[in-house]
Structure 1
């Protein structure tokens, strides 16, 4: 035998058709495998609520309890809620708080689940080959399913507060959701791949999620950051895509119920939303590159 032919017979595949086993086409394979993605999402939901009495109602209970705790501690005890005794506080602080909580909860759940998705599905990955990106994406999709009931509650609460948003404000909220989704998927792909080789990645993600709620203006107005730490630090603070995303939700849901336009960062629409979209997009690309670099040995490492 003198060599390998470019085609193995008249019905064979060319060298260009062959691929290294264990490698796919990245996120493009997720689009092509939409049916598999749907099955994985359904499986995740069934497994998560197996044996649960409340089931999907936990999507209402958990953020509700979280909201009450933060509202009493910060709005009442620390005086962030505007009142007759505290006119300097934020009006409709309950709307301000909950609009940030629903978005940061979505990010925390999406990133936490995506970073563990590969290890959690190790048994399936070792048995058959399918696009491995499906697992972090499915986990993010499940988080989006849990996000829907929370956003419905937020909209209803806003309507009772006289909510009358503009098209621009609603578009900003959609941009905020897109920013968080891309950022969570990018980080999820990155940490999900690293976690296969170094399980310390899970602990690092837990630390990041613990900090995330306080590193963005979910519980407090951005004015406190500027007043306490100055304009220079505030510029750095705004480079965090989650900060910008949370402010887009305040702009869309809280601002139409108040007259406190100064509580929204300047240049949010013209500068910071485009910057956050680019930053999240770059994070998505980096996460995908690292994931594809490491996925070849997932089955062996698991």
Structure 2
């Protein structure tokens, strides 16, 4: 991949230009979509269902989760469609097919950065004082979910060439993702319901990533008494993070293996 970095750079530029061609707001859509999501969830859950009453600084808690999950959903959704969207280019010239899903993940990362800047600004207004290890874990969590999205993007992107139902399957997965991770609610609610089966919930790398984002952005805005209301999940860094990284890397290798086998006949199938 490193040897093809120039081609990858060109594809990223192309993706950004194509996506915002004819758009008035352009890159500002990176702010509009998460802001609308935040307002809808905050009003529906924070105010109507009163979740903000038992969750201090619920607005920061909610936005931190939304920003993180949005990166994953955008990456996976676009990576799944990347081969079909570039069918004309694939038919005409040969270049490593893996570059297309990877380019879409990098474009999603470019959209993620403005949202992250807004999150940091909101946290600073709330008295955010993170430690160095918390900032480092943010980078680790971001890389982990990028690996996960790339692996799944390669897998479903290749399958989508042969089975167009793959895109619908991914759409259903993305519809569930926000609710399958502690974005809108506290993890302790899940633990109370699932009991000894809580470990199944924690096996989701996205769950671990969201919890780390909350630990890095939300926890430093709380007082000691408020942290007691929502303690950090046990063994988050010592056990669950390594497990999540291992699962993400395994999915990347699986996706890459399937992609290589199926990509041989992409041009014919397209």
Match of 2:178 among 213, 218, 221: 213
Deviation at 1:264, TM superposition (A): 2.0
Residue 263 of structure 1 and its aligned partner are, at CA, apart by 3.2
Q: Distance in 2 between matches of 1:289 and 1:57?
A: 37
Q: Could you say which residue in structure 2 is the equivalent of 1:52? A: 23
The runs of 5 or more residues in structure 1 that have no matched partner are 1-29, 83-88
1:283 paired with 2:251, answer yes
TM-score (norm 1): 0.87
Larger-Rg structure: 1
Structure having the larger proportion of residues in helix: 2
What is the aligned residue count? 266
Aligned-partner Cα distance in 1 for 2:190–2:197 = 8
Q: Which residue of 1 aligns with 2:9?
A: 38
Aligned residue among 257, 260, 270 for 1:292: 260
Contact 1:110/1:143 (<8 A) preserved: yes
Relative to the length of structure 2, the TM-score reads 0.97
CA displacement 1:261-302 (0-9 Å, x = unmatched): 543211111011111011100000000000001110000000
1:95-136 Cα deviation digits (max 9, x unpaired): 000000001000000000001101110110011100000000
- Determine the structure 2 residue equivalent to 1:171: 136
Query: C-alpha root-mean-square deviation of aligned residues, in Å?
Result: 0.8
Shift in Å at residue 233 of structure 1?
A: 2.1
Q: Residues 220-235 of structure 1: matches in 2 within 5 Å?
A: 220-230=185-195, 232-235=196-199
Unaligned runs of 5+ in 2: none
Give SS of 1:33's match: helix
Q: Give the alignment partner of residue 136 of structure 1, picking from 89, 92, 101.
A: 101
Equivalent residue in structure 2 for 1:241, among 205, 210, 221: 205
Residue 270 (structure 1) aligned with residue 238 (structure 2): yes
Higher RCO (CA-CA < 8 Å; seq separation 6+)? 2
Secondary structure of the corresponding residue to residue 52 of structure 1 = coil
Distance 2:169 2:251 in 1: 17
